[in-house]
Chain A
Amino acid sequence: MNVLSRPILVLPVMAALALSACAPPSDPADPDGTNSTSMTVLTSFYPLQFVVERVGGDTVEISSITPPGAEPHNLELSPAKVAELADASAVVYASGFQAAVDEAVVQTAPEHAIDVADAAQLSTAGGGTAEDDDAGDPHFWLDPERLGDVTDVVAERLGELDPQNAVEYAANADKLNQELSTLDEDFSTGLATCERRTIVVSHEAYGYLTDRYDLEQTGVSGIDPEAEPAPARIAKIRRVIEGQDVTTIFTESLVNPKVAETLAADLGVTTALLDPIESHADTSGDYLDVMRGNLSALREALDCA
């Protein structure tokens, strides 16, 4: 089979692939493509998976390139994944975030590669990749409005691929956009009046969020959630937070209580979880749930009215 030149068809076999990994995925046993209306869509990481799930509803079979819970930045793609990418009806990704996905898209040249980077208005110019030192901040989904723009583009492109269901996609997108607007309003009002406006984070992923809601982000590296920090590490963290009027350091994963105690005792700060939603574990609810969790964590840390 020639992956590069095979035309992308909406074949029922493709749907079967997503449902059963053991089916021979690329044998065009049924080239007439009878009557199935569903598409297989590969999404490159969780927030895009969420959007496609909501927009596509039941008519789209979705799988994610990034395995659940995995760190997406430095993802490596197996041959099987690359082949899946070549075989999918559409691939939804954001160029510049995952170098391996960018390369696989270039290599396999799927006819329907939906790059949402433009819609997300990433703060980078020139389409660098995540490996470039000068690449911009990729974490656009932490601004619900940007994710709303991405939602519109996804609905439009899916509708082009599958005109029969275009109306449904548009309606689903409208519904999601309403929810994103509500989320946006909740953030705006929830963070309108706060004692503090600076958040100290272990991963400076929140630039779009802090821009939108008029907060400041300061990065502090070196909080190992497991290992008790050395006096020198504490001194460095102190230097970063000194004069910042902060009471909380946000980390991406829960900090071991012993580490938290050390930080509290030495620096007088607590730690709390702020999820950049780069990946997703099934137990944590969907994008909207995690964002609301983030909002309450921010409101508590910033002492918002």
Chain B
Amino acid sequence: MSLHRRTLPLSTAVLAALVLTSCSTPASTGSGADAPANPATTADRPSEAGTPTSADATDRQEVDGLAPRAVLTYDGGIMAVDTETGDVLTNTESEGFLRLNEAGDGRHVLVSAGKEFRVFDSGLIVEGHGDHDHYYEQAPALTGSTVEAAEAGHVVAHGGKTALFADGSGAISIMDTSAFEDGRIDADEVESFSTDDPHHGVAVPLTSGDLLMTQGTADSRSTVQVVSPEGELLAETTDCPGVHGEAAAMPTTAGDVVSLGCENGPVVYRDGEFHKIHVDEPYQRSGNQFGSHESPIVLADYKTDPDAEQERPTRVGLIDTHASVMTTVDLGSAYWFRSLARGADGEALVLTYDGELNILDEETGAVLHEVEVVAPWEEPEEWQSPAPTVKVGTDGFAYVTEPSAKKLHVIDVAEGTLLDSFDLPETPVELAVVTGEGRHGHDHADGEG
């Protein structure tokens, strides 16, 4: 490091110091005289009191704590909202149908947009300082960095890695989740893999360093594999027709546990091999699964009608991934794939058509809380259309969109209370919530693709 990079007076306090000593500069510039200060290199350093650090600097300022930010898509753009004040922090026009995925670092969100993933910076920054953290905020924005992906599909952040799947090519791009810190992904930060054929698939980076991925074609997919970094096939199941939906559960001592949905009951990867979950129905699809690092149970939708145009189940599945059994809970009201989520302690959350957020004990299926959040609603005909969406931040609060009222609601899951409701300027479609704190596990849902 060269000293001159750190020698700009960056705060009012230091400016004051400079003023006091400025008349001594003829003799005191010795270390810096031959090295002009470089403003750009200071942009990554926080200023003391919220003053901009340089011409290139952001509006970054230190705060006492971070208010989680909701990133929402609408028809024509992306908005970011402070979930404590309801303030709309940014509103960016962006074409196409946009899907949102957490990058996994607690700060960045990946926007799937056709042929690429775009990196969106929520502006929530945590810096470790000894045994505690300091917090900074800046304006949210697309960073301009993209990762190419033909038919950009699923994003899975797991075990410190983030995997991006391109349905149109079967290309898998894997990077350290921490690589998002600077807001951009460079070619040398990406490890590339590929499935045999393009298909609507998913890849999960396992903590062992191995990679779990689906195999199939555009017409048919029923295989899940685990391969080593050298490409060796370590485990495989071919008994997962229509594979879709995956979630990681609490690991065992032998490693990661991942559940996947099939059309003949789920399959679970555990202890290095695949285990089929028994279901009573000949056709049973749990194409949307939601895991928690805190729990062996995975929450899933539960569909049983192979011929339905649009099945509206009222039952959800609770997959005990360690015991390889699934139970169901009938909520008496339907839900859709965007209205399922997990609480910080593993609770199963289901927002049903009656407008209630059902908070279940995932072990017993017992209802802990029923919170009236939104007006009664129904699933739209197109999965891309707006309807209530539930996400849980690492803060343990649930965030629920209500497109018909253009609202965002905040629910304390542990207490079962509606804390706040905010008006939105646009009709929200997709939702991601970041808190500044990264996630340990992951989950994802998907359009009915």
Report the stretch among A101-109, A154-162, A288-296 that lies at the interface: A101-109
Residue ID in chain A nearest B395 by CB atoms: A236
Chain A interface residue count, CB cutoff 8 Å, equals 62
Decide: A79 and B29 in contact? CB cutoff 8 A: yes
Q: Which single member of B24, B32, B132, B410 contacts A203 (CB below 8 Å)?
A: B132
Contact with B along A185-220 (1 / 0, CB 8 A): 000000000000000001111010000000000010
Decide: B9 and A76 in contact? CB cutoff 8 A: yes
Determine if B92 is an interface residue (Cβ-Cβ < 8 Å): no
Residues A234-280 near B (CB distance < 8 A): 235-236, 239
| In the complex with contacts A79-B28, A135-B129, A233-B65, A103-B1 CB distance below 8 A | yes
For the complex formed, measure the closest distance between the CB of A106 and the CB atoms of chain B, giving whole angstroms.
8
Decide: A232 and B14 in contact? CB cutoff 8 A: no
Residue ID in chain B nearest A279 by CB atoms: B13
With a CB–CB cut-off of 8 A, which chain A residues contact B83?
Answer: 232
Q: Which single member of A107, A133, A222 contacts B65 (CB below 8 Å)?
A: A222
Residue ID in chain B nearest A97 by CB atoms: B130
Decide: B28 and A83 in contact? CB cutoff 8 A: yes
With a CB–CB cut-off of 8 A, which chain B residues contact A148?
Answer: none
Determine if A176 is an interface residue (Cβ-Cβ < 8 Å): no
Determine if B235 is an interface residue (Cβ-Cβ < 8 Å): no
Question: Most chain-B CB neighbours within 10 Å: which of A77, A135, A205?
Answer: A77
| In the complex with contacts A27-B27, A86-B30, A232-B410, A81-B17 CB distance below 8 A | yes
For the complex formed, measure the closest distance between the CB of B12 and the CB atoms of chain A, giving whole angstroms.
9
With a CB–CB cut-off of 8 A, which chain B residues contact A223?
Answer: 64-65
Decide: B84 and A230 in contact? CB cutoff 8 A: yes
| In the complex with contacts A67-B13, A137-B131, A232-B420, A75-B48 CB distance below 8 A | yes
Determine if A26 is an interface residue (Cβ-Cβ < 8 Å): yes
With a CB–CB cut-off of 8 A, which chain B residues contact A138?
Answer: 130
Determine if B404 is an interface residue (Cβ-Cβ < 8 Å): no
With a CB–CB cut-off of 8 A, which chain A residues contact B397?
Answer: 232, 235
Report the stretch among A15-23, A38-46, A54-62 that lies at the interface: A15-23
Residue ID in chain B nearest A133 by CB atoms: B128
Residue ID in chain B nearest A131 by CB atoms: B127
Report the stretch among B158-166, B332-340, B411-419 that lies at the interface: B411-419
Determine if A179 is an interface residue (Cβ-Cβ < 8 Å): no
Contact with A along B28-45 (1 / 0, CB 8 A): 111110000100001001
For the complex formed, measure the closest distance between the CB of B124 and the CB atoms of chain A, giving whole angstroms.
12
With a CB–CB cut-off of 8 A, which chain A residues contact B8?
Answer: 76, 78
Determine if A80 is an interface residue (Cβ-Cβ < 8 Å): yes
With a CB–CB cut-off of 8 A, which chain B residues contact A7?
Answer: none
Decide: B3 and A232 in contact? CB cutoff 8 A: no
Decide: A76 and B45 in contact? CB cutoff 8 A: yes
Decide: B27 and A26 in contact? CB cutoff 8 A: yes
Determine if B133 is an interface residue (Cβ-Cβ < 8 Å): yes
5 residue pairs A–B, Cβ–Cβ below 8 Å: A25-B24, A71-B49, A83-B31, A103-B6, A222-B67
Residues of B within 8 A of A (CB): 1-4, 6-11, 13-14, 16-18, 20-32, 37, 42, 45-49, 63-68, 83-85, 128-135, 395-397, 410, 412, 414-415, 417, 419-420
Additional A-B contacts beyond A207-B131, A221-B66 (8; CB < 8 A) = A1-B27, A78-B9, A78-B14, A132-B128, A136-B130, A205-B132, A223-B65, A239-B414
Residues of A within 8 A of B (CB): 1-3, 17, 21-27, 67, 69-71, 73-84, 86-87, 100, 103-104, 107-108, 124, 130, 132-138, 202-205, 207, 219, 221-225, 229-233, 235-236, 239
